[in-house]
Structure 1
Amino acid sequence: MNTPAPPHTPDPPSLERVVRGLFLAGWDGHTLSPQVRQMLEAGLRGVVLFAKNIQTPDQTAELCSAIHDAHGPHALIAIDQEGGRVARLRDGFFVSPPMATLGRTATPEQLHDLGRLLGLQLKALGIHLNFAPVLDVDTNPDNPVIGDRAFSADPQRVAECGTALAQGMQSVGVAACGKHFPGHGDTRQDSHLTLPRLPHGGKRLDIMEIPPFQHAIDHGIASIMTAHIVFESLNPSPEDNTPATLSSEVIQGLLRTAMGFDGVVISDDLEMKAIADHAPIEDTAVRAVDAGVDLMLVCHHPDLVVRAVDAIVAAVQSGRLSEDKVHAAHQRVERLATQYRPGLTTPETREREAQELAELEARFAALFGSDPAATNDPTDALGA
């Protein structure tokens, strides 16, 4: 009697492919560039879209389809669709008012439904990761980059609003990302342009900055984005200029251990001047993974991803960076990409979701209006 052959077990991915899976890249253009296509085929986790990539709903859907075709079923396509002035999708799309407007007027139930609206809008295009909600607390009127992107100056209100929006998005299969941990709301400088510092001690952070993130974590938010900000009290010494994105004290000590977050930690764009002006991408990428970042954004120059991947591989091979850390990050990203991915719905479900989306758009347009005039987006050319 013939014994059936054991099922074929695919070879494990190479270290290079695993490391490529820790990056999202950005590029200029309305179609998928040959370079990024090749990178996706070689294991790049996915892309982050900006207004520079988007023309119409049909064009955006075709672009997303090409990205998924190049990578496979576990590609991640990410976007900043907060509402107000930070909304990459505009012409032909519903755009919600700024979060500050919603923070003053909306109920948690309305924000949950708005999250469903945003999620259904993105999901219909093939986008499954939204860099929202902003969980920063708007405590500094001189803040040049947060302002009306935050729900409120009250941390409890930010917690309530942000978690409701995140849960709404995730209820329809789009991963939410709370940002910018541990908090960008009190800075006087823009981390796209320089490296801000905050002196706040642990007591202040526990009262003001941390509660919105803790509330979102306790209610299952899928991912958290780090801030390129020096938190002096969280570093080993006041002279330490390590930003949160590169700090194991912030990511492993505070976010993972103290706050219990086991989802995906995402860096803000590694091309932002707060990071890029202080070290080459090779050093930054190695330090980010070593600190506990799982998924890194390189939003404008794909060549930098190639350099960063080579540096991480070399750091593992030399013993500078633990291979276990690399694989742990890859596993967390893979888990998110598996949970939030296209192809999980039937035609009947898609038809039902399209009907719900149309109903929600009509309801929210009547309730809050749309915000098409808010096109002054300071982050679109710079990062998230």
Structure 2
Amino acid sequence: MPPGPAVVDVPGTVLADEDRERIRHPAAGAVILFARNYENPDQLRLLCEDIERLREPALPVCVDHEGGRVQRFREGFSAIPPMRELGRLWDRDRDAARQAARAIGYVIGAELGAHGVDFSFTPVLDLDYGASSVIGDRALHFDPTAAGALGSQLIIGLREAGMAAVGKHFPGHGFASADSHVAVPKDDRSVKEIFGKDLLPYRKAIEAGLAAVMPAHVIFTQADAEPAGYSKFWLQEVLRGKLGFQGLVFSDDLSMEGACVAGGPRERARAALAAGCDMVLLCNDPKGCDALLESLKGVSLSRLEAWEAMRKKGGRDLRKSVAYREAQQRLAAMSAALQKPEMGTIVPIQENPS
């Protein structure tokens, strides 16, 4: 059965009958996991194997596993630092920061892949303007050049571990102060400024092999009246046209307040797909998900090759490899370097000119 455009979630640590029905639905195209789906490494592996057996080809399993406060699986996994720590290291030693970013990508890919997870929604490519609490230390840096360089190395590290990368939140959530989980954020900057700053990390990430993009539930008032995830301007004219991106576009969670401007779940999904999203997420809403799946029955996923690229590559456990051990050593070296007082202090982000 070919994949559909919907990314579905499950409520527990094992699949119930209704979960299996959703995953088998022809409109389903991927499965996203959360912290609630995780008890321990063995349980996660069995859950992913169960999901894999339900379809041919198997639907990819994904998760938000960025590091810091957004790391769904913790016990049995390496503690990935907030991405801002890479930015701090960049300000001290750029080569060490690049190496650490690549190592983090490799560790994330190796550990998730060993448990049956196909990809993570990472890296965050938003710039740290000091305005957005929901982004905050998830961002790599306030400087577009630094964010682009570090994001690219994360992507390379993920790819070396057989894992695709998803850049978010296009074209940038860092300047908007409101949290799109509970509000509709707006960014009033000019298109020229956004092009000159926020798009640079995406250009570099695409050059590095970025496989997918997730747009922001942010309205960029000088460009479009719709949030970026519903905007043909951002997704078709800019992302596909100007940046030449050929991978998948995932909507952000359509249950978020920032997505509700388009109506109910079915209307939100249709609006996202019409704007240029390939796949849509609706999380934490089983009834809404069922309605969404039915409304998308018969809607095919056109970018099958790009969808296939989201599935993990290679079958062996990379945690036993020399590359994994070296990546862990680089993470330890990063932590040690950032604890050295003689390396100086970083000027707070709000004191830097934007």
Q: TM-score range by the shorter chain?
A: 0.7 to 0.9
Q: In the alignment, what sits opposite 2:97?
A: 107
Structure of higher CA gyration radius = 1
> Deviation at 1:213?
0.9
Q: Write out per-residue CA displacement over residues 133-169 of structure 1, whole angstroms, 9 at most, x where no aligned residue.
A: 0000001x24120010001110110000011101210
> Deviation at 1:278?
5.2
Matched, 1:339 2:309: yes
Normalised by the length of structure 1, the TM-score is 0.80
Mean alpha-carbon deviation: is it higher for 24-33 or for 189-198?
A: 24-33
> Deviation at 1:276?
2.8
Q: Contact between 2:132 and 2:178, CA under 8 Å: does it hold in 1?
A: yes
Taking the TM superposition and a 5 Å limit, the aligned residue runs for 1:139-150 are 139=129, 141-150=130-139
Q: Write out per-residue CA displacement over residues 282-313 of structure 1, whole angstroms, 9 at most, x where no aligned residue.
A: 11111111101001111212332331233345
Q: Contact between 2:127 and 2:172, CA under 8 Å: does it hold in 1?
A: yes
- State the SS of the aligned residue for 1:71: coil
Normalised by the length of structure 2, the TM-score is 0.87
Q: Give 5+ residue unaligned stretches, structure 2.
A: 90-95, 337-354
Matched, 1:299 2:283: yes
Q: Contact between 2:25 and 2:293, CA under 8 Å: does it hold in 1?
A: no
Matched, 1:28 2:30: no
Matched, 1:154 2:138: no
Q: Contact between 2:180 and 2:217, CA under 8 Å: does it hold in 1?
A: yes
CA separation in 1, counterparts of 2:106 and 2:196? Answer: 30
> Deviation at 1:171?
2.3
> Deviation at 1:124?
0.5
CA separation in 1, counterparts of 2:179 and 2:65? Answer: 19
Please provide the CA RMSD for this pair.
2.1
Percent of paired sites with the same residue: 33
CA separation in 2, counterparts of 1:298 and 1:360? Answer: 38
CA separation in 2, counterparts of 1:244 and 1:196? Answer: 11
CA separation in 2, counterparts of 1:112 and 1:361? Answer: 8
Matched, 1:285 2:269: yes
Matched, 1:40 2:23: yes
Q: In the alignment, what sits opposite 1:10?
A: none
Q: Write out per-residue CA displacement over residues 2-38 of structure 1, whole angstroms, 9 at most, x where no aligned residue.
A: xxxxxxxxxxx6xxx75xx111112321112321211
CA separation in 2, counterparts of 1:245 and 1:339? Answer: 22
Q: In the alignment, what sits opposite 1:9?
A: none
Residue correspondences, number:
329
Q: Write out per-residue CA displacement over residues 37-92 of structure 1, whole angstroms, 9 at most, x where no aligned residue.
A: 11222332221111111111111111111110112333111111111111011112
CA separation in 2, counterparts of 1:28 and 1:357? Answer: 35
Q: Residue type of the partner of 2:20?
A: R
CA separation in 1, counterparts of 2:317 and 2:10? Answer: 32
Q: Residue type of the partner of 2:302?
A: Q
Taking the TM superposition and a 5 Å limit, the aligned residue runs for 1:1-384 are 21-43=4-26, 44-105=28-89, 106-139=96-129, 141-235=130-224, 240=225, 242-276=226-260, 279-313=263-297, 327=300, 330-332=301-303, 334-341=304-311, 345=314, 350-351=316-317, 353-356=319-322, 359-360=325-326, 362-364=328-330, 366-369=332-335
CA separation in 1, counterparts of 2:78 and 2:193? Answer: 37
Q: Residue type of the partner of 1:339?
A: A
Q: In the alignment, what sits opposite 2:349?
A: none
In structure 2, relative to structure 1, the CA distance for the partners of 1:364 and 1:331 (3 Å cut) is same
> Deviation at 1:174?
1.1
CA separation in 2, counterparts of 1:255 and 1:365? Answer: 33
Q: Contact between 2:124 and 2:139, CA under 8 Å: does it hold in 1?
A: yes
